[in-house]
Amino acid sequence: MVLSREQYEYNVDDTLDAARQAVGEVRLGLKHLFEYLACVRYVDVNNLKKLDAHLESLKNMNTPQDYAELKLSQSSVCNPSDFSQ
């Protein structure tokens, strides 16, 4: 299955608003963010593995060091052209 550009983009403003609302209600876990978003598309892990066999595109970041390590890791970058037709 190939996704069109519109199918994998997300609205930054909607996501930021949802994050602010979740934080304002002290619902701090990432899983709670999805409760505040109107349109969430869940992707089956097997479909994701077709693009990212080792699930390197999903990383947990809790510290500035985690972020720095992620920035240095080229294997964790998903190329948007992988989604185009």
Instruction: Please say whether the beta carbons of 33 and 79 come within 8 A.
Output: no
Residue 84 has pLDDT above 50, yes or no: no
Residue 23 has pLDDT above 90, yes or no: yes
pLDDT for the residue 53: 86
Q: For the segment 24-63, what is each residue's pLDDT rounded down to a tens digit? A: 999 988 888 889 988 887 888 998 888 888 887 777 778 8
How far from 18 is each of 38, 58, 73, 80, CA to CA, in Å?
9, 20, 29, 24
Residue 16 has pLDDT above 70, yes or no: yes
Residue 80 has pLDDT above 60, yes or no: no
Helix, strand, coil percentages for the chain (3-state, nearest 5): 55, 0, 45
Q: Domain limits of the chain?
A: 5-76
Q: Which amino acid is at 52?
A: D
Q: For the segment 68-79, what is each residue's pLDDT rounded down to a tens digit? A: 887 776 554 555
